[in-house]
């Protein structure tokens, strides 16, 4: 029974990865202290392009000097998390407005070329 749960989790991860392939690198990063937002441009299976973001926190071990990243946060990260989320949302909104503004120009150029 335990193996079948593992297989279901594995299948769910594969389906999720297929539905939302990540670009090689984020299109933009925002950092405040130890907290960062990585902004990704993605495309749905139906072809709809969109942006989303993921959060991470950098850390360094005091005892071993080992460094790394975590998706978990402490209450002391509240202000940094709030600021990073706000900036990421603002950046995405601005980029979506730019993308929308360039779409009519692109379609009118295509219409002009067809004439």
Domain count, the chain: 1
Q: Which residue has the tokens 């495309």?
A: 43
Which of 19-33, 59-73, 99-113 comes out lowest in average pLDDT? 99-113
DSSP class per residue in 23-57: PSS-SEEEEETTEEEEEEEEE-TTS-EEEEEEEEE
Whether 115 maps to a domain, the answer reads no
Whether 51 maps to a domain, the answer reads yes
C-alpha 73/C-alpha 33 separation (Å) is 13
Q: How many residues does the chain have?
A: 115
Reduce the DSSP state of residue 70 to 3 states and report it: strand
Full residue range of the structural domain in which residue 101 is found: 21-109
Q: Does this model's pTM top 0.75?
A: no
Q: What pairs with residue 40 in β-bridges? A: 52
Torsional class of 103: left (φ above 0), alpha (ψ -120 to 50), beta (otherwise): alpha
Whether 37 maps to a domain, the answer reads yes
Pairwise pLDDT comparison (98 vs 5), residue with the higher score? 98
Whether 97 maps to a domain, the answer reads yes
Whether 65 maps to a domain, the answer reads yes
The pLDDT confidence band at residue 16, using thresholds 50, 70 and 90, is: very low
Whether 49 maps to a domain, the answer reads yes
Whether 13 maps to a domain, the answer reads no
Whether 3 maps to a domain, the answer reads no
114: which residues sit within 8 A by CB, 6+ positions away?
Answer: none
Count CB neighbours of 27 within 10 A: 15
pLDDT for 96 beyond 50: yes
């Amino acid at each position: 029974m335990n193996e079948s749960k593992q297989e279901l989790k594995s299948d769910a991860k594969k389906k999720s990865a297929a539905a939302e392939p990540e670009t090689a690198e984020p299109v933009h990063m925002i950092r405040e202290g130890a907290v960062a937002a990585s902004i990704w441009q993605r495309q749905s299976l139906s072809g709809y392009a969109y942006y989303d973001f993921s959060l991470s926190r950098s850390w360094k071990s005091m005892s071993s000097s080992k460094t790394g990243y975590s998706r978990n946060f402490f209450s002391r990260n509240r202000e940094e998390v709030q600021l990073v989320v706000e900036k990421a949302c603002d950046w995405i909104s601005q980029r979506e407005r730019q993308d929308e503004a360039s779409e009519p120009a692109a379609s009118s150029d295509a219409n002009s070329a067809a004439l």
